[in-house]
Amino acid sequence: MPELPEVETTVRGLNRALNSLSARFIDVWADWKKTIKKPRNFKSFKAGIKKKKIEKIWRRGKNIIFELSDNYSLLIHQKLTGHLLYGYWVRRGNNWQPSGNDILADRVNNYIHLLFFLDNGKMIALSDLRKFANVELWKTEELLASSGFNNLGPEILEKSFTFEKFKEALSKKKGKIKEVLMNQSVIVGVGNIYSDEALWRAQVNPFKKIPDLTNRELEKIYDSLRDVLQKSIELHGESFSDYRDTNGEKGGFDKIRMVYRRKGEKCQCCGTIIKRKKIGSRSCHFCPACQKI
């Protein structure tokens, strides 16, 4: 699933592509209308989105928000395998084929189930193999007041989110550190990938419980999280699986991935074999020597 760096990369890519142009949605196509969660009726969604001008694109947690004219907002959560692409596609038979960009022809970019047509002649496409993505059209004030939006935790990369605030947020929880880091009501944007990577860098065992962490360990987790997320943004995210940026290109974080999906390989710090274990309904990867309980 795209996490904070991948979503931030997508938002920055869209903003660069549109380059402050006052682009408007002029039409929308979908062959998997269940992606549209609000309103449920596709015709109503289509009518609501047409002629709306894109005024701002930003990120909140793993959500992409298009602020539109007439006080509307389009919210997209890419979920497990979704990613947004920017370009031009031509309909050939039952498929949409990219025009003028060979990278968009990559297999993972060809699961097009939703297309937004813009008045600048380009399109924003959602490629989503598993078809789990959510797309919602809201009145902006209703979105900002919604429980789902307001229950999101703080942004770990915000300058105002200091170590003291991080420590306070975690102090309210008693569970295992990896599970708490992935709890979107505690902090947003962190999932399986970056919790594994940050905890390895901090040399903290993912099964260690919050009350058992020392102040120094908490500092190391805070610093490692910020460092690994920022580095991944610089590298345009992680593309081990399905994620691609808005141009259809892979991110570069895979090259510096230390433990995530490296079960059975040697730890690059000490040479111990990386282990994979279940933690709740998820999995974690860690070095049993560097990250002792």
Tell me the catalytic residues.
2-3, 62, 282
For 194, the token pair is 């970056």
In a 3-state reduction of DSSP, which class is residue 41? coil
CA neighbor of 55 nearest in space, from 24, 12, 10, 87: 24
Sequence-separated (6 or more) residues with CB below 8 Å from residue 29: 114, 115, 117
Q: Look up tokens 């306070």; give the residue.
A: 168
Q: 188, 270, 289: which is closest to 229 by C-alpha?
A: 188
Q: How far apart are the first and last CA of the chain?
A: 28
Give the helix ranges, DSSP H, for the chain. 4-18, 42-49, 140-145, 147-150, 163-171, 177-181, 192-202, 215-234
Question: Is-contact 94 29, C-beta < 8 A?
Answer: no
Which residues are 286's β-sheet partners? 275
Residue 49 has what DSSP assignment? Answer: H
Q: Distance of CA 232 to CAs 34, 118, 241, Å?
A: 31, 30, 15
